[in-house]
Amino acid sequence: MQLPQIRLQSNFIRTGLDIKDAVQKIEQPSAIQSIEQPKAILEIQTTPGKLSIDQTKAREDMDLKNLSKRVEEFVQLGYQDWLDGMARRSSQGQELRHIEKGGNAIASLAKQNGSKPQKQFNVGWIPSHFSVQIDYQPAEVNIEATPQKPIIQAETQKPIHEYTPGDVNVEVLEKNSLDIDFINLFPEVTG
């Protein structure tokens, strides 16, 4: 016996996708900048140093005196020698005047006047210590600096943006289908 049957055969739809990617391009131009730094205002005031060296005493110690000093010393020395000579002659005259009192006044005076006095010498420094006078006033420097602010100008640039949207195309490669068959619906008559 054959039973009636319904046969179903189906095919699913087959699709194909054609995809075009989106393209995006972004470019950011640099900002336009202008920076200027003015120089600082600088004021410098200098008082020069002063050095004074007085070597008059050292030159005098080495017997390198100027003319006026030498003349002054000669005047003083001559005056002192004149006074010493007057005092010596007066005292020797007194001795000779009292010759009758005894003693050997003429021999004593001859001995005094005939020999030079002994020179005295000791260790010394020429020129003498600290004979050069030095006076120094250091220089003074006053510095005033006034800084200047920088001048900055900046201009921003808009970004350059290019965009091409993507696209998707869908196509049907094979349609869906459904086949229905009926088998043995009507029994066959044999006969």
> pLDDT truncated to tens, each residue of the chain (191 aa)?
677 788 888 888 888 888 999 999 999 999 999 999 999 999 999 999 999 999 888 888 888 888 888 899 899 999 999 999 899 888 888 888 777 777 787 778 888 777 777 777 777 677 888 888 999 999 999 999 999 999 999 999 999 999 999 999 989 888 888 888 888 777 665 65
Say what the pLDDT of residue 138 is.
93
Q: What is the DSSP string of 160-185?
A: EEEEE--EEEEEEEE--EEEEEEESS
Angstrom CA distances, 123 to 55, 61, 128, stand at: 22, 14, 11
How far is the first Cα of the chain from the last one, in angstroms, to the nearest whole number? 16
* pTM of the predicted model as reported, rounded to 2 decimal places: 0.37
Token pair for 160: 């350059």
179, 3 Cβ separation under 8 angstroms: no
Say what the pLDDT of residue 190 is.
60
